[in-house]
Amino acid sequence: MKTDLWGTRAVLCDAEIERIHAASLRVLRETGVRVPVRRLQDAAAALGAHVDSGKGIIRFTESAAKRRAWAARPKPPPREPGRRVRGILSGSAVRTLDMDTGLARDATCADLADSVRLADALDCVEVGSSLVLPRDVPAGTEDLCQFFISAKVGRKPVVPTVLNLNSAEPIHDMLAVLLGSRAALKASGRFFARCYCTSPLTYSRDGIELALKILDMGYPAVFGAPMVVSGASGPVTAAGTLALSNAEALAGMCLTHALGQEPHYGAVPVVMDQRSGQACYADPRKIVLCMASRDLTRWYGFPEPGFHVGLDAWHPGIQAAVERTFTSLMGLFLYDVPLSVRLGILGPAGAVCSLPQALIDVELVGLLNALMAGVDVNDETLAEDLIRCTGPGGSYLALDHTAEHFRQEMWLPKYFERRLPDSIQRADMEGIMRRASEDVRRILSAEEASPLDREQERELDRIFICAGGPERLCRVRGGGQNH
């Protein structure tokens, strides 16, 4: 059955979900998942899974242990009123568009520091920046350096991304310094492990060992969150991709449950451009796959996953604007959870970032929130007395009521233009980008005191250097001072 999306907020009907579910269970039972770590194999076997230790394959049956991983879940709560769109500077891009040359180059620690300062200046951003994964640091310390710079430069909460086994303890210790104690860190929920499934049906030894290390430190560890690439690491058909992706998500929940952790359903399938070989985040079929995965999440009774807006253009311009707007609107109308616009991240697959693009994306956040605001109906906004006094043929332009309310009632863009051209005026195709670049430079040029006290700064430096971090980064401050 080919589903018609128009007029419905669901991609899959119950019969289609049940067929995908059944196909996924057959994949888990007959093919299994490669898990090359004995501890996890033993934990799965204790819940009734069949383990081929020689090949490192776990095959899951429909045992009571496996069913408990997803059955009898409470239904997700209804959508909260006043849902808003927020911005996040995330993505760990390894390339950046240089503001001076316009050329793509490897991202640096200075770029990361600048993105952190920019995140601090944006009201729609609630957490610190992980927009950049620096490349000018020793291999294996990228995540350590990313967190260290974000912690030293930024004023907003930092949620670390731990990528390397040796980085787990120093990042944990630095986060405890920021929050005041290990008890405060544990209560914050900001330190955890997510071990991703590598499609098709494989977990890496390094990823498992990192997750187990963080689990043994006393923090949550979750397995799953597959990102099947349709036509590359999964079947090119949407139904086949969903069957594989769902099997990997269910396997992840079983492994999480086997370790005594709270399972979460998560799957983010994407598609590959068969001409370029690039994974696509703004392709319409990718959106369909994500919506179908959302339908499966609801069917299993888990909370609906968030939706992060992506795009495939590697530079600002018409393609980036169309893709960002398209994916934003689809996420807004088809998901019941808060929408996050990933400011400044570009494609393909989030590999490139641009700080001026981040400010242009903030403009889109404002547009979407104005769309979501609806209509506020009360005595003041109905303005009956004003309509009566103004009468037929009158004007509301110069009234105090207009001056008092127009900023709340109307969306006033900063970069988008709404003017008629003069007869001799030429179109300025680069005007928005130029003005955004000027604002980025103005924000970064502002001098700010360190957000840390001296004792915190010294302790962060000590932990960082003891963990093998480059000593030169202890001087990083952002604000354009690192170029």
Mean pLDDT of 355-372: 92
Q: Give me the pLDDT at residue 84, please.
A: 79
pLDDT digits (tens, 9 = 90+) for 103-116: 999 999 999 999 99
Q: Which of 12, 26, 8, 33 is nearest to 239 (CA)?
A: 12
The C-alpha atoms of residue 164 and residue 34 are separated, in whole angstroms, by: 21
Answer yes or no: is pLDDT of 201 > 50: yes
Strand, helix or coil for residue 331: helix
Q: Give me the pLDDT at residue 76, please.
A: 52
Q: Give me the pLDDT at residue 66, please.
A: 47
Q: Which of 146, 142, 145 is nearest to 131 (CA)?
A: 146
For residue 51, CA distances in Å to 10, 32, 197 come to 37, 9, 18
Alpha carbon 427 to chain centroid, angstroms: 35
The C-alpha atoms of residue 77 and residue 27 are separated, in whole angstroms, by: 31
For 54, the token pair is 């020689």
Are 16 and 3 spatial neighbours (Cβ–Cβ below 8 Å)?
Answer: yes
The C-alpha atoms of residue 249 and residue 267 are separated, in whole angstroms, by: 6
Task: Evaluate the CA torsion angle 122, 127, 132, 137 in order and state its sign.
Answer: positive
pLDDT level of residue 478 (50, 70, 90 thresholds) = very low
Give the count of beta carbons closer than 10 Å to the beta carbon of residue 170. 22
Q: Which of 320, 334, 394, 404 is nearest to 364 (CA)?
A: 320
> Which runs of E-coded beta strand occur in 321-470?
339-342, 345-346, 352-353
Looking at every residue in the chain, the average pLDDT score rounds to 88
Answer yes or no: is pLDDT of 49 > 70: yes
Show me where the domains of the chain are located: 1-68+192-305, 86-134+308-390+397-418+428-483
Answer yes or no: is pLDDT of 429 > 90: no
Mean pLDDT of 440-446: 94
Overall pTM surpassing 0.85 (yes/no) = yes
Mean pLDDT of 295-302: 89
Rounded percentage of the chain residues whose pLDDT exceeds 70: 90
Answer yes or no: is pLDDT of 309 > 70: no
The C-alpha atoms of residue 467 and residue 470 are separated, in whole angstroms, by: 9
pLDDT digits (tens, 9 = 90+) for 381-396: 999 999 999 999 999 9
Q: Give me the pLDDT at residue 374, please.
A: 83
Q: Give me the pLDDT at residue 480, please.
A: 41
Residue 115: phi and psi, rounded to 5, are: -65, -35
pLDDT digits (tens, 9 = 90+) for 450-463: 788 899 999 999 99
What residues form DSSP beta bridges with 95?
Answer: 106, 352
Residue 200: cis peptide before it, omega within 30 degrees of 0:
yes
Alpha carbon 221 to chain centroid, angstroms: 18
For 217, the token pair is 């430190």
> Which runs of E-coded beta strand occur in 126-249?
193-196, 221-224, 229-230
Answer yes or no: is pLDDT of 210 > 90: yes
Answer yes or no: is pLDDT of 476 > 90: no
Mean pLDDT of 299-320: 84
* Antiparallel, parallel or unpaired: β 104-106 and 95-97: antiparallel
CATH 3.20.20.480 fits 1-68+192-305, yes or no: yes
Give the count of beta carbons closer than 10 Å to the beta carbon of residue 216. 10
Q: Give me the pLDDT at residue 144, please.
A: 97
Answer yes or no: is pLDDT of 47 > 70: yes
Mean pLDDT of 88-99: 93
pLDDT level of residue 353 (50, 70, 90 thresholds) = very high
Burial of 410 (0-12, 13-18, 19+ CB in 10 A): exposed
Are 164 and 141 spatial neighbours (Cβ–Cβ below 8 Å)?
Answer: yes
Among 154-158, 231-235, 264-268, the range of highest mean pLDDT: 231-235
Q: Which helix (H) or strand (E) holds 59?
A: strand 57-59
The C-alpha atoms of residue 417 and residue 359 are separated, in whole angstroms, by: 15
Mean pLDDT of 34-38: 97
Which residues, including other chains, have CB under 8 Å from residue 409's CB and lie 6 or more apart? 381
Residue 348: cis peptide before it, omega within 30 degrees of 0:
yes
The C-alpha atoms of residue 213 and residue 157 are separated, in whole angstroms, by: 24
Answer yes or no: is pLDDT of 4 > 70: no
pLDDT level of residue 479 (50, 70, 90 thresholds) = very low
Rounded percentage of the chain residues whose pLDDT exceeds 90: 70
